[in-house]
Amino acid sequence: MPSRWIHERKNEHYHQKAKEEGYRSRASYKLIQIHNKFKVFDDAKYVLDLGAAPGGWLQVAAEKIEDGGLVLGVDLQKIKPLWADNVITIEGDVRDQAVQAEVMEYFDGKADVIMSDMAPDIIGQWEVDQYRQIHLARIALKIADKLLKRTGWFIVKVFQGGEHVKYVQELKDMFEYVRNYKPPASRKQSAERYIIARNLKKNRKLPREFKAEEEQEEDEGPLPGDQLFQDPGY
């Protein structure tokens, strides 16, 4: 990794600000800015954070929610303890049945805010990277369909491009309110965007699974997490 890049990153404004103010990552300011614009945590008590490591979004949510609330973070990576009474973390894959069951137990079926900062391991092939990113965003959407209150907020990261445009339309089929937003804390050269949505529609319809999933051979059995994502309207 070039030493110049490391030097620039260490001196970058939000990176330094996070170190000074005790946040685990510069991403904390993206969520702060999202809240300042959309007020997503107003009156919120129960929050689910998908792709929560290293914990920057967990910190912000824990500060914003009402007393007696809960912020649950899920990630494939282990999240170091935050030492906050209202934060619980799960190390695991959100597609896993056991992880889903544990999440649903904590929320008793409903959450005020579901947010996803999930991103795939970048391989440098833009079409593949964007496709995999939107796949994660669709997984988050399907979880929101099951766990989010009708008037709850959904916040999800996507990479800008053709699949991003399709995904925004899918969100409009699911939610009454949908906005495309890039927080000032996002790097200027970054293609990431955050979609902010609210108010699930009563007649909503989940997007179809990716073609790759639809073409799975029957004898391979269901994919991990399919029991949560099945939609009789498909």
The domain segmentation of the chain, as residue ranges, is 27-229
Angle at the Cα of 66 (from 63 to 72), degrees rounded to 5? 65
Percent of the chain with pLDDT over 90: 49
List the catalytic residue out of 64, 142, 149, 157: 157
Class of the domain covering 27-229: alpha beta
pLDDT (tens digit, 9 = 90+) per residue, 33-67? 999 999 999 999 999 999 999 999 999 999 999 89
Does residue 157 have an active-site annotation?
A: yes
Mean pLDDT of 139-144: 92
pLDDT digits (tens, 9 = 90+) for 128-139: 777 888 889 999
Report, as an integer, the average pLDDT of 76-104: 90
* pLDDT for residue 223 is more than 60: no
pLDDT digits (tens, 9 = 90+) for 160-184: 877 888 899 999 999 999 999 999 9
| pLDDT higher than 70, residue 30 | yes
Strands 111-116 and 46-50: parallel
